[in-house]
């Protein structure tokens, strides 16, 4: 299972004190949602070829079981729609409670700092 976290790097790394615990799900790949958009026009997606390269660079493959998790599920929807409906990745889901829910479970592991390189 692969986790994609589209939050800004500071939130992903746990640098901002917002939730019960701060950081990210261990092993998650940080792909901030604007990464999929044109830098000059955030309302326009990059080409699907560019997005495929971004995902491949993060070791996300089309047949992976993918969960997109952000703060509450809202930021995850762009990447969900792109992966599931535009790229046709078959196993993509959104963790609706996302970090807001996950951070409240003290028995679940939390990672801070940059993503692990695999």
From CA 13, how far away is CA 6, in angstroms rounded?
Answer: 12
Estimate to the nearest angstrom the gap between the alpha carbon of 59 and the chain centroid.
13
- Angstrom CA distances, 18 to 15, 49, 83, 99, 100, stand at 9, 35, 28, 10, 9
- The answer to whether the beta carbons of residues 14 and 30 sit under 8 Å apart is no
Nearest to 12, CA basis, from 78, 70, 98? 70
For the record, the structure tokens of 50 come out as: 């560019």
Q: Annotated catalytic sites, by residue?
A: 70
């Amino acid at each position: 299972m692969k986790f994609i976290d589209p939050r800004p790097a500071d939130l992903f790394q746990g640098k901002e004190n917002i939730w019960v615990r701060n950081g990210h799900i261990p092993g998650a790949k940080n792909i901030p949602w604007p990464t999929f958009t044109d830098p000059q026009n955030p309302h326009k997606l990059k080409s699907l070829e560019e997005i495929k390269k971004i995902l491949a660079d993060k070791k996300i493959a089309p047949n992976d079981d993918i969960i997109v998790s952000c703060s509450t599920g809202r930021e995850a929807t762009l990447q969900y729609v792109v992966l599931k409906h535009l790229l046709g990745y078959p196993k993509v889901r959104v963790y609706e409670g996302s970090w807001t829910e996950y951070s409240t479970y003290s028995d679940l592991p939390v990672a801070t700092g940059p993503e692990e390189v695999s």
